[in-house]
Structures are given as structure tokens and as C-alpha cells.
Amino acid sequence: MSELDALFNEFDQQEQLGRTAATEPTEAAKSTTAQPPEKYAKSVLFVRGVPKDATNEELEGFFSNVGPVRSCFVVCDKKPEGSEDAPAAAENNKTVKNRGFGFVQFVLAEDAARAIEQLAETKFRDQKRLMLDFAMRKGTRDPADK
């Protein structure tokens, strides 16, 4: 199982245990996606267009203006560029490039919907807008898309 799959599993388990709000997103947030809402996590956003040098902390700071963030991360390559051993590379200050996307989990589903509405036109780092959607639940992804 890949690291990304493990993270999806963790998000799914948290929602099933009722650790996130069980309310429906706003109508405006529903309109941002063309597929049925039950395929999507209510409090988790999939964020595309993240600059390759952005950090988890920067992304969390950007979204925390909307509401409390439970977890936030950019998806990174498994190995730093030009390195076989990731821990040794970290010690040598070689950077791991992110893959240009990430996930943000809000404490409340309403905050996730509000983030899509409020941050749609806001530029990250005053450079470019991020593309925001509700993250799909792992069990609802189409196997043909893998």
C-alpha cells in the first residue's frame, strides 16, 4: 500500500468514526463538483496547483484563515532528487519536491465548503490560485482511473 493510500484510509476512518462533522456542504460548495456528493469527503479538500517548493506549513497557514485545520499536507516524492536514501538526504539538506497537490482536512465540514467559496479567487503566496475540490473517498474512486 502506498503512502498516499494509507493517508486516504486514515481520512476515511476518521470520517467513519464520526470525528468530523456530519453536515452537508453548502449549495455553492456542491456546485463546484459535477459528481454526487456522497462520493466526496465532506471535510477534506483536494488541492491542485501547489507550487513545487511549497511546504505543509505554508499550505496550512493559507487555509487556517477560513477555519481550524485538522491536518494538512502536500504530497511529496518518496525520494529526494538524486538520492537513494531519504533520511540521509534530509541530513544533507537535499529537498524533497512536492508533486503539486495536497490535502487539507478541516475540523468542520462547513469550513471546507467555505474554503472553496472564499479561496477560489485568492492567490497562494500572491502568485497563483489553487484549484480546490472536495477529496473523493477512497472506496468510491473508479478503478479504471488508477
Tens of pLDDT, residue by residue over 88-115, are: 544 444 567 889 999 999 999 999 999 9
Contact 137, 54 (CB under 8 A): no
Of 144, 115, 135, nearest to 39 (Cα)?
A: 135
Q: What percent of the chain has pLDDT over 90?
A: 47
- The pTM for the full model equals 0.63
Res 23: pLDDT: 41
Contact 87, 38 (CB under 8 A): no
Identity of residue 93: N
Contact 6, 101 (CB under 8 A): no
Res 78: pLDDT: 78
